[in-house]
């Protein structure tokens, strides 16, 4: 599984970086910025009921048009993931101090690779749909401190180096000067436990993202 993932990621990165040189005539570039509502899916989420963690999703975008209505869509983005859980805090003697938020904060370099379909225009808006794999390279991970923990817990060493997932989304694009402005909603879910160690509960990263983009 690890060999297949590394090979796929290497090929995907080469496509993302080399495509502009190979197909400049049909290429478009831009930026995308939005907000993730992140949580844990699977049995872990059902048992412990973590709340959504709000985190940024910001990156560079590249598109190559195969046809007026079909394109390859790739991104290189910073994506915050994780969840926010509540823990029962205690003092040094074990006395309860109440409930505290203890966010699990993960940071990824995310590379979504989508097929992007443009639908017939609705007035000045062009609807679009997109779907494909999303590869998250782990940058950092921590569990934020709450009593009785005196400091943040570094989780990166316990996390898989790559979080492989799938994503689907859609939105609208509008003509804006020499390019186009887009607004989209995207759902992304990991396909495996983000941690290396086996867990008695299934756990997957899951995010909903609302974002704005501008392409030329």
Instruction: List domains and CATH numbers for the chain.
Output: 2-215 (2.40.160.20)
pLDDT of residue 51: 83
| Between 150 and 20, residue with greater pLDDT | 150
Of all residues in the chain, what percent carry a pLDDT higher than 70? 78
Of all residues in the chain, what percent carry a pLDDT higher than 90? 65
pLDDT digit string, tens, across residues 201-212: 889 999 999 999
Residue 201 C-alpha from the chain's centroid: 22
Using CA atoms, how far residue 69 sits from 64, 127, 129, 171, in Å, is 11, 10, 10, 14
pLDDT digit string, tens, across residues 138-149: 999 998 866 556
pLDDT of residue 4: 47
DSSP 41-76: ESHHHHHH-PBPEEEEEEEEEEEEEEETTEEEEEEE
What residue has token string 């394109």? 71
Across 160-180, average pLDDT: 96
Cα 23-24-28 angle, rounded to 5 deg: 105
Q: Is the pLDDT of residue 164 over 60?
A: yes
Residue 184 C-alpha from the chain's centroid: 14
pLDDT of residue 197: 85
pLDDT of residue 67: 94
Contact of 67 with 74, CB cutoff 8 Å: no
Residue 25: partners with Cβ closer than 8 Å, 6 or more residues away: none
Lowest-pLDDT choice from 71-85, 115-129, 139-153, 182-196: 139-153
Cα 188-194-198 angle, rounded to 5 deg: 140
Q: How far apart are CA 104 and CA 142, in angstroms?
A: 6
- pLDDT tier at 103 (50, 70, 90 boundaries)? confident
DSSP secondary structure code for residue 121 in this structure: P
Both tokens of residue 145? Answer: 């401190």
């Amino acid at each position: 599984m690890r060999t297949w993932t590394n090979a796929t990621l290497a090929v995907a990165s080469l496509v993302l970086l080399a495509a502009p040189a190979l197909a400049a005539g049909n290429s478009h570039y831009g930026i995308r910025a939005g907000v993730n509502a992140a949580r844990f899916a699977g049995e872990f989420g059902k048992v412990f009921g973590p709340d959504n963690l709000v985190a940024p999703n910001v990156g560079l975008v590249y598109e190559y048009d195969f046809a007026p209505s079909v394109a390859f869509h790739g991104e290189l983005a910073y994506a915050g993931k994780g969840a926010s859980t509540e823990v029962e805090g205690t003092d040094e003697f074990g006395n309860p101090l109440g409930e505290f938020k203890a966010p699990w904060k993960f940071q990824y370099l995310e590379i979504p690779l989508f097929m992007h379909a443009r639908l017939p225009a609705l007035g000045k808006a062009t609807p679009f749909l997109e779907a494909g794999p999303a590869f998250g390279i782990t940058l950092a991970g921590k569990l934020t401190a709450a009593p009785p923990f005196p400091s943040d817990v570094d989780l990166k060493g316990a996390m898989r180096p790559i979080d492989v997932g799938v994503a689907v989304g859609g939105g609208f694009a509008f003509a804006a000067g020499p390019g186009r402005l887009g607004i989209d909603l995207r759902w992304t879910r990991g396909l495996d436990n983000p941690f290396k160690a086996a867990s008695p509960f299934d756990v997957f990263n899951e995010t909903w993202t609302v974002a704005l983009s501008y392409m030329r």
